[in-house]
A and B are shown apart, each in its own frame.
Chain A
Amino acid sequence: MIIREGFADVVANAFAGLGFPREAPELEVPDRMCVPGSDLSPVREGIDKIIYGLTKWEPKTNAKGAFAPPMVTVTGKDYEEAVTSVNNLFLRNMWSDGLPILPPTEERVNWILTGTSLPRDKVIGKIMPRGGIATPLMLAVSLAMAGGRPEYLPVLIATVEAIVEPEFYHHFVNATTGNPFPLVVVNGPIAKQIRLNSGYGCMGLNPMFAAGASIGRALRLVLLDIGGGIPGFASMAIQGSNRVANCVFAEDEEHFPYSLGWELLSVDQGFPQGTNLVTVIPAAQVDFIMASTVSTEATAQRCIRDYSWAIGVTSTMPAASFNFGRPYGGAGAVSTKGSVYGMVIFAANTARGFAALGYSKEDVRKAFWEASKTPWDTIKSIYSSDKIKDIIDKGGGVFAEGQPWPISVEPRSIFIAVAGGEQSDHAMWVMCGGASGWTAVSKQIKLPAKAVRDKLIEQAEKDLGPMPLPQWTGK
């Protein structure tokens, strides 16, 4: 294998992920050789190494089988020093994310595991590129490190079940030079029970609603530790934004305008209202949209315009640059169930405002889709003629020469979630894609028996205090 300089670990991880030993015969060539017209002398100089790889190289590992690393013992003159040593060890071994962790002792991990009735060694899937095996036990280890609690574990398990589905392309998400991260929206009563934020600051960290921070950070640790996605070694995300705790929040079901005919994201995804569900999208970028309250037809139209500018402007380059032939939501895609181009997240009163003016959720989605179309002159300037033909051929009549092009085959590829408190005004546009993927995957959250759940929630009340009601009631 001929590889770009600095990508040896990426390749080793890729081999491991495919089930091979973590090694391969390689010739590493300078990055500068990988541009048009470059000097290829490193290949001339390295041809003997290529021949050696084909004829003489021997792998160090010659046995099949599963290999689980043993537990690790750390010592200190007292508990505090031992905990510091655990943190130092985890940083040295690249097992941490850079922030302090809680030591994943057997006792703490067993406590976290009380949150699920699944067997601790049940295989959930392999996390790429390294191909480490995700089990409830290993997810509990990550959650323990992230300061999590048992009642969070079912959400983390469902999230990992979602990302290991082939259509999520998590091997791209966790290895690409792009900057994707999993964005997780939770629906159902579980969200409120475990104190997952749907209100102010829901996309960030919040001491009153610690679940999102812990679950998101644990997911990051899963991708780093089990998946091997260490920046610069296996994850080549150039800037790697939004990766502290990913983004885990609940849809605001408390203030949702059901009576005005709107349906939750979980219902859009084909599940009955009330289902405990995670929906995961491969987010590539997050844009703030400063918009006004939707209170009149004029303000509704202004919001549609402002949102659509954000949607349209961000859509063109990724769609033009990355079409790996997948059934994705972007221009020229084959539309499939779950195709997602991006997600608009606005607060409850924005949804209520649209609904009160007679706009269904589908009307709003379609309005965004129509208003965000890219003018034909722009299309011509960014796509080659071959690409234009390819997209027109695949587009099922949606894309035509001389006409403005929508950002996706169908409006449904623009997802809408309601979160951020009861007020109106601003919104977020989360664009999927780049090299990360274009499919939203939803998974039902498997809860333990009610008696177990009740006990965990009761313990959380004792540990964390009463449920922080103000944001839920909007008062």
Chain B
Amino acid sequence: MKEVEVEVHNPTGATEITELFRSRLADLNGKTVCEVNAGWEGHRTLALVTELLQKQFPTVNIIPSTEFPGSRNDSEHPKIMELVKKFKCDAIIVGNAG
């Protein structure tokens, strides 16, 4: 008996990739790493990350999360982007997202 075929649309629709990730950094020494607090004790987590990174990369320049508005408030996002440019961040660590 011949099977019946039903062809249906995938309901998830199209997505568009408009941005690509930057190349990774070869070494963190001499680079500027910015930290953005996304809440959920992010301020403590990022302070510890600062300490641990500085141990391994003595000349890394860390801009702490206290220099940025919290990222949970999306009205602050343009301000964060301004500061990222101002500090010439080579990399950003966000935590604790969720």
Contact = CB atoms under 8 A, between A and B. Distances in A.
Interface residues of B, number: 49
A40 B44 contact: yes
A2 B6 contact: no
A286 interface: no
A21 B21 contact: yes
B58 to A, nearest CB: 14
A71 B7 contact: yes
Interface string A254-279: 00000000000000000000000000
Contacts of B17: 19-21, 61, 63-67
Interface string B1-44: 10111111111111111111100111110000100000011101
Given A11-B98, A325-B73, A67 B16 contact: yes
Contacts of A164: none
Given A29-B45, A43-B49, A133-B16, A109 B5 contact: no
Nearest to A131: B15
Contacts of A382: none
Nearest to A83: B6
Nearest to B91: A54
Interface stretch (A137-145, A183-191, A408-416): A137-145
A74 to B, nearest CB: 5
A62 B6 contact: no
B15 A20 contact: no
A82 B11 contact: no
Contact of B96 (A6, A34, A77): A34
B8 A71 contact: yes
Interface in B61-98: 72-76, 91, 93-98
Contact of B6 (A57, A59, A86): A86
Interface in A307-347: 324-326
B28 A38 contact: no
A138 B11 contact: yes
A66 B49 contact: no
A7 B94 CA distance: 14
Interface stretch (A99-107, A288-296, A418-426, A452-460): A99-107
Given A3-B98, A43-B52, A55-B28, A86 B15 contact: no
A183 B96 CA distance: 32
A10 B40 CA distance: 15
Interface residues of A, number: 87
A118 to B, nearest CB: 16
B13 A138 contact: yes
Given A47-B52, A74-B5, A55 B96 contact: no
Given A6-B98, A132-B12, A73 B7 contact: yes
Interface string A46-59: 01001100111111
A1 interface: yes
A17 to B, nearest CB: 9
Interface string A101-138: 00111100100000000000000000000111111011
B15 A73 contact: no
A386 to B, nearest CB: 15
Contact of A2 (B5, B14, B28, B42): B42
Contacts of B75: 324-326
Given A7-B97, A34-B96, A21 B20 contact: yes
Contact of B48 (A1, A40, A79, A228): A40
A44 interface: yes
A389 interface: no
A248 B42 CA distance: 39
A137 B11 CA distance: 10
A452 to B, nearest CB: 23
A58 B20 CA distance: 11
A222 to B, nearest CB: 9
Nearest to B35: A2
Nearest to A62: B20
Given A6-B98, A62-B20, A44 B14 contact: no
Interface in A15-36: 16, 18-22, 24, 27, 29, 33-36
8 contacts: A2-B93, A20-B20, A43-B49, A65-B16, A66-B16, A74-B7, A138-B11, A324-B75
Given A19-B18, A75-B5, A81-B4, 14 more contacts: A6-B98, A7-B98, A20-B20, A43-B45, A47-B56, A50-B49, A55-B26, A64-B20, A66-B17, A67-B14, A72-B8, A75-B4, A105-B8, A225-B13
